[in-house]
C-alpha cells in the first residue's frame, strides 16, 4: 500500500492534482505522488502531505549546551529530537546522513507520538524538549503539536534551526517554543545559494521576527575554513547582529569538522575561532562563545561590571559559580543575563556499586570528547548505570526508563581521560563518538541498509 502521509499545514492549491507548499521559502510544487526538495513533504491527490510526522531519530538525552544555548538554565538536561529530511542541502552539512534522505537508512528511523515524547520527559525528569539535529522546520506539524502538549505538562521547548522558513509557521512556533537557537551561515547571499541551496534574506527576516517577539534567542555561526572564516565574513555577521538584534544576544562561533561534500579542509582552528571572538568583542558584542572547543576559560560567562566568573564552562559542561537564585552576581550584586541559573545544576545522581558488573570503557581523544551511549536489547525496560570518571574522582549514576535508550556523556575536565560505565542487567551498551555538538552519530555499518526514499515512495 502506498504511504498516505498525514495532513500538512501551510500550503495552497496549485494546478489540478498539485499543490504549493508554503512551509519554507522554497515553495515547492511537487507533481502528484512526488516529494518536494526536502524529501519528506509531497503532493498526494492535490494536497501537500507530511511523510515524516513522528518519524524521528532515537530520542536522546543531552545537555542544553549541546544546542549552543549558554544563558538559559546552564547544565539543564534536554531530550533531543531529530527528524529526517531538510529544506536545505549544505555542502558542509554536519548531519548529512540523516538530513539528506537519499543517504538515510530507514532502519535508523523510530516512530513516536507526541504523548510518547512527553512521557519520556516526564518519566526521566527531563525539563526541556529540543527540536534539533537536521532541521525541525520540515516536521513542523509534529513539532507544534508535541510542543503544545509539552507546555500542558510543564515541559519547556527549544528550537535549533537554520531557520529557512516562512513567516506564518514562525508565528505558530512563537506560541509554543520557549528557546530559539538559530544559526546564521553567512551574511553573503551567494554563499547561501551556492553552499546551502537556500537564500539569505528570508533567514534574516525570520531571525528578526523572533527577536522582535521578545522570545529567548541565541545565535550561532559555523565557521568553515575557506568558506566563511575571513575577517570580512565574520565582521559582516557581527555588524548585522549588532544592528538588528543587539549586543546582548549570546553569539557562538562554532568549529566545523570536515563532512559530506566539504572534506578537503581541516577542522576549524582555535586561532580562527579566537580571532572571530576578538573581533566581536572589539565591536561591542557582550557575550561571545566558541563552540566545539575545550579551551579553558574562553567560554565562561563573566559579570559585566566586576569581571567575576559567573558560569564556568569546559566543553559541554557548565558550573554555575557566584550567582544567586535571582541571577545576581554574588560579588557585586549586578544582574546577569542568565535565566533560571540554578535549575540545571545538581541533576546528576550519586554513584552506585554492582557486585558483578558488565563494563564499557571510553577514552577521550582530540577528535571526540563526547559520546552517545546506546542501550541495546533493553526493550523499554528501566535500567541503571554507574558512570565513573577516569583520571579524576567522580562517580554518578544514570537511570533510563520509558523507552529512553540513548544519552550523551562528555568530557568533564581536562584531567578526565575517559569514562567507565558499569551495569548488571541483561542489556548491552555501545558508544558512538560525537564529533561535535549537535552531531548525531549514525550506527556503524549495518550489513543491509534500507533506503528511506524507497520506503516513502508514493
**Site residues (CB under 6 A) for ligand SF4?**
21, 23-24, 26-28, 36-38, 41, 87, 138
Give min distance, CB of 21 to ligand SF4, in A: 3
Q: Is the Cβ of residue 283 or residue 453 nearer to ligand SF4 in the bound state?
A: 453
Query: In Å, how far are 128, 143, 173, 227, 431 from 159, measured between CA atoms?
Result: 10, 9, 9, 26, 26
Q: Is the Cβ of residue 138 or residue 438 nearer to ligand SF4 in the bound state?
A: 138
The phi-psi region of residue 102 (left if phi > 0; otherwise alpha if psi is between -120 and 50; otherwise beta) is alpha
Give min distance, CB of 142 to ligand SF4, in A: 13
Q: Is the dihedral of CA 273, 277, 280, 285 positive or negative?
A: positive
| Euclidean distance between CA atoms 166 and 201, whole angstroms | 11
Q: DSSP assignment of 43-55, as one string? A: EETTEEEES-TTE
Nearest residue to the partner ligand SF4, using Cβ: 36
421's CB contacts (< 8 A; 6+ apart) are: 359, 360, 361, 362, 373, 385, 386, 387, 388, 409, 429
Give min distance, CB of 22 to ligand SF4, in A: 7
Q: DSSP assignment of 279-318, as one string? A: HHHHHT-S-EEEES---TTSS-EE-TTT--EEEEEETTEE
Give min distance, CB of 217 to ligand SF4, in A: 23
Give min distance, CB of 80 to ligand SF4, in A: 21
Give min distance, CB of 87 to ligand SF4, in A: 4
| Euclidean distance between CA atoms 177 and 220, whole angstroms | 18
| Euclidean distance between CA atoms 12 and 66, whole angstroms | 37
347 burial type by CB count under 10 A (0-12 exposed, 13-18 middle, 19+ buried): middle
Q: Is the dihedral of CA 435, 440, 446, 448 positive or negative?
A: negative
| Euclidean distance between CA atoms 130 and 177, whole angstroms | 10
Return the DSSP state at 196: I
Give min distance, CB of 138 to ligand SF4, in A: 5
Q: Is the Cβ of residue 83 or residue 124 nearer to ligand SF4 in the bound state?
A: 83
Give min distance, CB of 192 to ligand SF4, in A: 15
- Pairing state of beta strands 406-410 and 370-376? antiparallel
φ/ψ of residue 294, rounded to 5 = -120, 25
φ/ψ of residue 183, rounded to 5 = -110, 135
- 313: β partners: 318
φ/ψ of residue 446, rounded to 5 = -70, 150
Cell numbers 541483561: residue: 426
Give min distance, CB of 29 to ligand SF4, in A: 9
Give min distance, CB of 38 to ligand SF4, in A: 3
Give min distance, CB of 166 to ligand SF4, in A: 8
Q: Is the Cβ of residue 5 or residue 344 nearer to ligand SF4 in the bound state?
A: 5
Q: Is the Cβ of residue 19 or residue 259 nearer to ligand SF4 in the bound state?
A: 19
Q: Is the Cβ of residue 34 or residue 394 nearer to ligand SF4 in the bound state?
A: 34
φ/ψ of residue 155, rounded to 5 = -105, 135
| Residue 123: strand, helix, or coil | helix
Q: Which three cell numbers stand for residue 210?
A: 523572533
Q: Is the Cβ of residue 28 or residue 290 nearer to ligand SF4 in the bound state?
A: 28
Amino acid at each position: 500500500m502506498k504511504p498516505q502521509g498525514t495532513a500538512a499545514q501551510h500550503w495552497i492549491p496549485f494546478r489540478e492534482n498539485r499543490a504549493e507548499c508554503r512551509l519554507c521559502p522554497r515553495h515547492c510544487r511537487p507533481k502528484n505522488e512526488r516529494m518536494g526538495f526536502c524529501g519528506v513533504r509531497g503532493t498526494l491527490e492535490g494536497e501537500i502531505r507530511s511523510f515524516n510526522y513522528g518519524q524521528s531519530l532515537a530520542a536522546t538525552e543531552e545537555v542544553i549546551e549541546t544546542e549552543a544555548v549558554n544563558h538559559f538554565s546552564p547544565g539543564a538536561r534536554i531530550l533531543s529530537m531529530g527528524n529526517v529530511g531538510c529544506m536545505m542541502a549544505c555542502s558542509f552539512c554536519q548531519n548529512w546522513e540523516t538530513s539528506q534522505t537519499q543517504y538515510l537508512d530507514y532502519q535508523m528511523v523510530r516512530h513516536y507520538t507526541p504523548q510518547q515524547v512527553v512521557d519520556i520527559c516526564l518519566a526521566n525528569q527531563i525539563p526541556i524538549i529540543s527540536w534539533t539535529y537536521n532541521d525541525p522546520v520540515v516536521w513542523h506539524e509534529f513539532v507544534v503539536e508535541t510542543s503544545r502538549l509539552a507546555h500542558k505538562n510543564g515541559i519547556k521547548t527549544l528550537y535549533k534551526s537554520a531557520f529557512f522558513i516562512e513567516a506564518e509557521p514562525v508565528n505558530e512556533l512563537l506560541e509554543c517554543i520557549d528557546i530559539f537557537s538559530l544559526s546564521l551561515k553567512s551574511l553573503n547571499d551567494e554563499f547561501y545559494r551556492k553552499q546551502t541551496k537556500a537564500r539569505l534574506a528570508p533567514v534574516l527576516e525570520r531571525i528578526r521576527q523572533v527577536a522582535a517577539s521578545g522570545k529567548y534567542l541565541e545565535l550561532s555561526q559555523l565557521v568553515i575554513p575557506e568558506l566563511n572564516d575571513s575577517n570580512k565574513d565574520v565582521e559582516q555577521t557581527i555588524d548585522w547582529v549588532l544592528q538588528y538584534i543587539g549586543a546582548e544576544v549570546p553569539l557562538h562561533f562554532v568549529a566545523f569538522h570536515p563532512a559530506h561534500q566539504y572534506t578537503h579542509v581541516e577542522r576549524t582552528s582555535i586561532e580562527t575561532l579566537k580571532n572571530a571572538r576578538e573581533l566581536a568583542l572589539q565591536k561591542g558584542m557582550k557575550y561571545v562563545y566558541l563552540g566545539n572547543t575545550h579551551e579553558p576559560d574562553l567560554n565562561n560567562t563573566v559579570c559585566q561590571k566586576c569581571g567575576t566568573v559567573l558560569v564556568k564552562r569546559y566543553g559541554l559542561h557548565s558550573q554555575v559559580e557566584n550567582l544567586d537564585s535571582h541571577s545576581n552576581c554574588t560579588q557585586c550584586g549586578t544582574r546577569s543575563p542568565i535565566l533560571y541559573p540554578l535549575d540545571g545544576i545538581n541533576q546528576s545522581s550519586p554513584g552506585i556499586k554492582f557486585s558483578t558488573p558488565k563494563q564499557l570503557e571510553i577514552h577521550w581523544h582530540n577528535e571526540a570528547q563526547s559520546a552517545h551511549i546506546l542501550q541495546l536489547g533493553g526493550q523499554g525496560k528501566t535500567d541503571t548505570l554507574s558512570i565513573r570518571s577516569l583520571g579524576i574522582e567522580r562517580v554518578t549514576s544514570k537511570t533510563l526508563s520509558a523507552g529512553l535508550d540513548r544519552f550523551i556523556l562528555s568530557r568533564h575536565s581536562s584531567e578526565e581521560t575517559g569514562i567507565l560505565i558499569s551495569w548488571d542487567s541483561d542489556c548491552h551498551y555501545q558508544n558512538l563518538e560525537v564529533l561535535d555538538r549537535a552531531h548525531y552519530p549514525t550506527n556503524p555499518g549495518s550489513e543491509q541498509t534500507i533506503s528511506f526514499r524507497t520506503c516513502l515512495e508514493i
